[in-house]
Structure 1
Amino acid sequence: MNEQDLNKIKQAVTMILEAIGEDPSREGLLDTPKRVAKMYHEVFEGLNKDPKEYFEVVFHENHDEVVLVKDIPFYSMCEHHLVPFFGVAHVAYIPRDGVVAGLSKLARAVETTAKRPQLQERITSTVADAMMEMLNPIGVYVIIEAEHMCMTMRGIKKPGSKTITTVARGIYEHDDVKRAEILSLLKTN
């Protein structure tokens, strides 16, 4: 995000503050437009990144069973209301021909995909599709659990409610036993 874009955000935040009846020159709000612009630069930094880049470097290991990284925390912004949603992602795959990714790369793919105006469903499918394309695994299963502030602080106002989305690719699309294995592993501490 360049300086011109940051200035546009500052101007827009100033206008929002004025529109809701606030005084942007009030002491507590003086630097708010600048702080919001800086925050938006950080929380939307995934806009110009592709999660596939994390799977360009792979390792060859004699492993052909499930790899699961669970409880990957993430934060995102609902594209409908521009308020946060947050939760955890669980990413599993079965390597093909021993091709594995670094474990941190699964978390980085989730984080990058989440850092843009987003839908939870899209995060789930984007991560799964990136892994399928770049790793060519036997299967990928992604589960995301999140709380949406657009349901907590406005609208229906149901704090604590969670939305769960799943995407199954490859063997997980049709093999109920393999899917059950992942769900069982998620229940363990």
Structure 2
Amino acid sequence: MLYFTKGCEENALDIIKGAIFNENHDEMVIVKDIDIFSLCEYHLVPFTGKIQIGYIPNGRVIGLSKLVRLAEVFSRRLQVQERLTKQVAPFIFDVLNPQGVGVVMESSHLCMSMRGVQKVGGTTTTSCILGCMQSDAGTRKEFLALLNRR
């Protein structure tokens, strides 16, 4: 259990130290298909899925692997998917001060397949979109379209 909840002991700010760089880049940066594993805080069973993280820099970029590590820190806590999504996006928004941030997550929850409705195969999608990705329909559409490219 300590390993599954190790994110409770980790400070997300410590993870990104030294990995924010001044860079004159103002186009979208997206890291897709980051595997996450978390524990439902209500039922103490896993949910697993993928998280997509994108942002539009405003003079500063973050090391790409740090986005993966941030997803890991927030997912390795007793969690609900809705909160997890809403923790990653604002954290990036606050730390980088980008033009916009988008986080989309799709997961399967064992609490729905092992108990309750006992249906396997359903997925849940959540999103948190901030800044220009929220306020500009074209930017939001571009972000979502890039997520669906394979």
> Normalising TM by the smaller chain, what interval?
over 0.9
Runs of 4+ with deviation above 6 angstroms: none
Whole-angstrom distance in 2 between the partners of 1:159 and 1:95: 39
Q: TM-score, normalised on structure 1?
A: 0.76
Q: Does 1:151 align with 2:112?
A: yes
- Matched positions, count: 149
Which runs of no fewer than 5 residues in structure 1 stay unpaired? 1-39
Pair 1:186 & 2:142 matched: no
Fraction of identical pairs, as percent: 43
Aligned position for 1:53 = 14
Matches of 1:62 and 1:148 in 2, distance apart? 40
Q: Does 1:68 align with 2:26?
A: no
When normalised by structure 2's length, the TM-score is 0.95
The answer to whether residue 93 in structure 2 is matched with residue 93 in structure 1 is: no
Q: Which amino acid aligns with 1:41?
A: L
Greater RCO (CA < 8 Å, at least 6 residues apart): 2
As a proportion of its length, which structure holds more strand?
2
**Alignment partner, residue 82 of structure 1:** 44
CA distance in structure 2 between the partners assigned to 1:160 and 1:52 by the alignment = 35
Q: Which runs of 5+ in 2 are unaligned?
A: none
For the 8 Å contact 1:69–1:103, the answer to whether it is kept is: yes
**Greater share of helix residues, 1 or 2?**
1
For the aligned residue pairs, the C-alpha RMSD in angstroms reads 1.0
Which of the pair has more CA radius of gyration?
A: 1
Matched, 1:169 2:135: no
